[in-house]
C-alpha cells in the first residue's frame, strides 16, 4: 500500500524532523501544504538534501500567485536535489483567497488551469514551451541539469477540473472526499478523461483526517472543530454533499486500529491509488498504527 503522511510544520527545521521520522517509520511519502507559512518547496528542498529515500510532495501549491515558469523552476530545482523523489501538487485555492485576500481575478478557473498546465507541464518535463493563452504566456526553456521530469497532480474535484487534469497531468489529489465519491465520481471521471486522451491511468491520491482512538465520539467532535472551515469552502462542500454527509468529521477515518485499517482499505478499493493520512488528536498513536500498515 502506498501510504503517505501529511505534515504542516511551522519551520524548515521542523519539516526536516518530520521528514526524517516519516522515512524511519517507512511511509512512502511526506506531503506538505503551501498555506500562509514558509515556502514549502524551499523547505522540501532542504529536507530532500538532509533525508534520503522518502518521496516528497506538495499538497498543494496555489497556482494563481506564481507564474508557471517560476513554479517549474522551483520544482525542477527540488527534483535536482532530491534525485527524482518529488511530486508537485498544485491547486487553484479558493475564490475567497485569490480574490478576497490577493486581489487577483478568479474569472474562468478551468481556463486558468488549462493554460497553466499548458506552460507548466512541458517545462517540468524538460521541454521548451511556446504558448500564448488568454491570460498566460510563455515562450522559453529552462536549463536545470540532472533534474528528472516532475510528476504533477492537481487538486481537481469537479467534473471539468477532473477532465482537464486527466487529459493533461499525472493525476488528482483529493481532500474531504469519501469512498463513495471516489468510486462514483472522482476515479471514473479522471480515468475516462485520461483514456480518451491516450494517457496512462492517472494517480488518484486521497487525503483524509485520521485518528486512532478508543473514543470515537470525542475524536469526531475534535475533527468537527479542527476541520470546520472545509465544510464551508464550496469545492469541499460539494464533495461532502456528494458523499451525503453533514461535515468533515463524517469523512474522517476514526476508531481503533482495525477500524482505521478498514477505512483506508475502503478508500483504496474505491479507486484511490495512494492514501495520505492527516493525523489529528492522538497523533503519535495514529502514526504508530499507520506505520504498521505500510
- Give pLDDT tens digits for 217-249: 999 999 999 999 999 999 999 999 999 999 999
C-alpha cell, 245? 454527509
74 CB burial (10 A radius; 0-12, 13-18, 19+): buried
CA distances, 211 to each of 126, 206, 290 (Å): 40, 16, 10
C-alpha cell, 69? 515558469
| Cβ pair 190, 162 in contact under 8 A | yes
Per DSSP bridges, beta strands 137-140 and 152-154 are unpaired
C-alpha cell, 112? 486558468
Report the alpha-carbon distance of residue 157 to residue 272 in Å, rounded.
Answer: 13
Report the alpha-carbon distance of residue 294 to residue 287 in Å, rounded.
Answer: 11
Q: What percent of the chain has pLDDT over 90?
A: 97
- First CA to last CA distance, the chain: 6
Q: What is the mean pLDDT of the chain?
A: 97
The answer, yes or no, to whether residue 144 has pLDDT greater than 90, is yes
CA angle, corner 64, sides to 15 and 162, nearest 5?
A: 90
Q: Tell me, what's the pLDDT at 119?
A: 98
Q: Outline where 51-84 has alpha helix (H).
A: 68-82
Q: Tell me, what's the pLDDT at 282?
A: 85
| Cβ pair 49, 78 in contact under 8 A | no
| Cβ pair 86, 57 in contact under 8 A | yes
- Which CATH fold would you assign to the domain 1-155? TIM Barrel (3.20.20)
Question: Which residues are registered as beta bridge partners of 173?
Answer: 205
Q: Tell me, what's the pLDDT at 293?
A: 84
Q: Residue 294 — pLDDT band, cuts 50, 70, 90?
A: confident
67 CB burial (10 A radius; 0-12, 13-18, 19+): middle
The answer, yes or no, to whether residue 57 has pLDDT greater than 90, is yes
Residues 6+ apart with CB under 8 A from 35: 8
Report the alpha-carbon distance of residue 290 to residue 263 in Å, rounded.
Answer: 12
Cβ neighbours around 145 below 10 Å, total: 6
The answer, yes or no, to whether residue 1 has pLDDT greater than 90, is no
Per-residue pLDDT, averaged over 97-120, amounts to 97
Residues 6+ apart with CB under 8 A from 218: 281
Q: Dump pLDDT digits (tens) for 282-293.
A: 888 999 999 988
With CA atoms as reference, report the closest residue to 255 among 222, 196, 210: 210
Cβ neighbours around 28 below 10 Å, total: 18
Q: What percent of the chain has pLDDT over 70?
A: 100
Residue found by looking up cell 510563455 in the block = 138
Amino acid at each position: 500500500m502506498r501510504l503517505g503522511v501529511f505534515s504542516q510544520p511551522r519551520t524548515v527545521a521542523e519539516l526536516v524532523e518530520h521528514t526524517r521520522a516519516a522515512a524511519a517509520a517507512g511511509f512512502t511519502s511526506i506531503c506538505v501544504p503551501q498555506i500562509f507559512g514558509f515556502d514549502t518547496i524551499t523547505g522540501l528542498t532542504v529536507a530532500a538534501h538532509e533525508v534520503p529515500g522518502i518521496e516528497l510532495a506538495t499538497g498543494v501549491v496555489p497556482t494563481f500567485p506564481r507564474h508557471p515558469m517560476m513554479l517549474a523552476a522551483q520544482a525542477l530545482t527540488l527534483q535536482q536535489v532530491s534525485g527524482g523523489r518529488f511530486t508537485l501538487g498544485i491547486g487553484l485555492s479558493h475564490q475567497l483567497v485569490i480574490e478576497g485576500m490577493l486581489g487577483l481575478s478568479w474569472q474562468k478557473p478551468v481556463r486558468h488551469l488549462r493554460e497553466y498546465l499548458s506552460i507548466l507541464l512541458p517545462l517540468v518535463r524538460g521541454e521548451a514551451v511556446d504558448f500564448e493563452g488568454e491570460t498566460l504566456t510563455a515562450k522559453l526553456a529552462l536549463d536545470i541539469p540532472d533534474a528528472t521530469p516532475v510528476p504533477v497532480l492537481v487538486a481537481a474535484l469537479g467534473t471539468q477540473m477532473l477532465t482537464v487534469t486527466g487529459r493533461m497531468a499525472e493525476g488528482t489529489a483529493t481532500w474531504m472526499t469519501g469512498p463513495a465519491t471516489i468510486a462514483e465520481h472522482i476515479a471514473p471521471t479522471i480515468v475516462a478523461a485520461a483514456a480518451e486522451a491516450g494517457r496512462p491511468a492517472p494517480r488518484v491520491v486521497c487525503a483524509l483526517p485520521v485518528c486512532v482512538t478508543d473514543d470515537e465520539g470525542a475524536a469526531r467532535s475534535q475533527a468537527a472543530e479542527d476541520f470546520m472551515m472545509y465544510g464551508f469552502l464550496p469545492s469541499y462542500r460539494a464533495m461532502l454533499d456528494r458523499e451525503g454527509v453533514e461535515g468533515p468529521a463524517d469523512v474522517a477515518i476514526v476508531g481503533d486500529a482495525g477500524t482505521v485499517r478498514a477505512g483506508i482499505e475502503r478508500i483504496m478499493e474505491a479507486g484511490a491509488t495512494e492514501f495520505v493520512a492527516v493525523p489529528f488528536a492522538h497523533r503519535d498513536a495514529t502514526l504508530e498504527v499507520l506505520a504498521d500498515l505500510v
